[in-house]
Structure formats: C-alpha cells, structure tokens
Amino acid sequence: MSSRSFATDTRTATVTYRLVFSPEAQTDLTEIYDYIADRAGRGRAMAYLDRVERFCADFVEFPLRGTRRDDLRHGLRTIGFERRITIAFHVVPDTITIDRIFYGGRDIDGTYESD
C-alpha cells in the first residue's frame, strides 16, 4: 500500500469591511455622552465612548459576533458591552453598520417593532 500526501491551500479570500455608524447610532452616542457627563464628568463620558467605539471597531475583524435577531429585522445582530449597552448592527458584503446603541436597558424590541 502506498502512502500519499495531499497539500491543501487553507488560505481564503479576506474581506475588508468598512465600519459605519448610522445617524441614529451617532445620536445614541451623543445622548450617552450627555447622560454620563452630567453625572460623572466629561472625562469619564469621553473615556466610556472611546471604549464603545474601540469595541465596535473590532467588528471589522470579527463581524459575525453577537446574537442574530431576525425576529426584529432580517440580518440584525445584537451584542452586549460592559453590561450597560446593547449594540444593534448588521453586516452586508463589505460594510458593518452600527444601527443603534442602547444604553441602560432601553427597549430594543419596541424600537424595532415600531419601524
């Protein structure tokens, strides 16, 4: 019996994603900043938003994280951040769009049901 060895190419084509914050997500960030700044100061608010934005930037490397929420909108995903925020986003072939950033238990289901 002869032995054979096979070489396989495990490289795959990589997709470069672009990260976009929707106007609603930008408004959410502004409101979160204002809320935290009023209670804990502008420095803490900015540091918190920096962490949120860095977390979102990581989606470019791992875009299909989180939980699918097709029950709310086809292709929607959600993921938690530091126990206070839920980020809603969707992925299309080359773009990740941050749709909303819900702070402190806001009603995600109600938001999407009214759309």
> Has residue 44 been placed in a domain?
yes
Rounded mean pLDDT of 97-109? 82
Count of domains for the chain: 1
> Has residue 87 been placed in a domain?
yes
Q: Hey, what are 33's tokens? A: 């900043």
> Has residue 4 been placed in a domain?
no
> Has residue 35 been placed in a domain?
yes
Q: Say what the pLDDT of residue 1 is.
A: 40
> Has residue 41 been placed in a domain?
yes
28-50 pLDDT, tens digit each = 999 999 999 999 999 999 999 99
User: What distances in angstroms separate CA 67 from CA 8, 24, 40, 42, 64, one per listed residue?
Assistant: 33, 20, 31, 32, 9
In sequence order, what are the residues at sequence separation of 6 or more whose Cβ sits closer than 8 angstroms to the Cβ of residue 10? none
Could you give the CA distance from residue 39 to residue 108 in angstroms, rounded to a whole number? 24
Q: Say what the pLDDT of residue 104 is.
A: 81
- In this structure, the chain runs to a length of 115
> Has residue 62 been placed in a domain?
yes
Boundaries of domain holding 22? 18-113
Q: Hey, what are 11's tokens? A: 């490289």
Would you say the pTM of this structure is higher than 0.75? yes
